[in-house]
């Protein structure tokens, strides 16, 4: 537990900023896609970790939709 006390404050702030930006980006992107029903899910999940939620969003939402449009 002492390892967490040795982490500088600026690093914690950077981590918080990255998670916040990712959560907002996922929320806003899903809202703008017109569906919006899962926007809260993606936004909250985006606040929990990096980069897994963004990668999953791109693989399971953006990529299949782009493939459908292309065909």
Q: Please report the pLDDT score of residue 3 as a whole number.
A: 77
Please state, in angstroms and as integers, the Cα–Cα distance from residue 43 to each residue in 10, 11, 12, 17, 65, following that order: 24, 22, 20, 14, 19
Radius of gyration of the chain (CA): 15
pTM score of the predicted model = 0.82
Digit-coded pLDDT (tens) for 10-26: 999 999 999 999 999 99
């Amino acid at each position: 537990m002492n390892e967490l006390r040795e982490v500088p404050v600026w690093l914690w702030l950077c981590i918080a900023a990255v998670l916040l930006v990712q959560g907002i980006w996922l929320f806003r992107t899903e809202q703008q896609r017109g569906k919006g029903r899962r926007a809260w899910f993606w936004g909250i999940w985006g606040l929990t970790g990096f980069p897994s939620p963004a990668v999953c969003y791109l693989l399971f939402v953006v990529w299949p939709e782009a493939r459908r449009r292309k065909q």
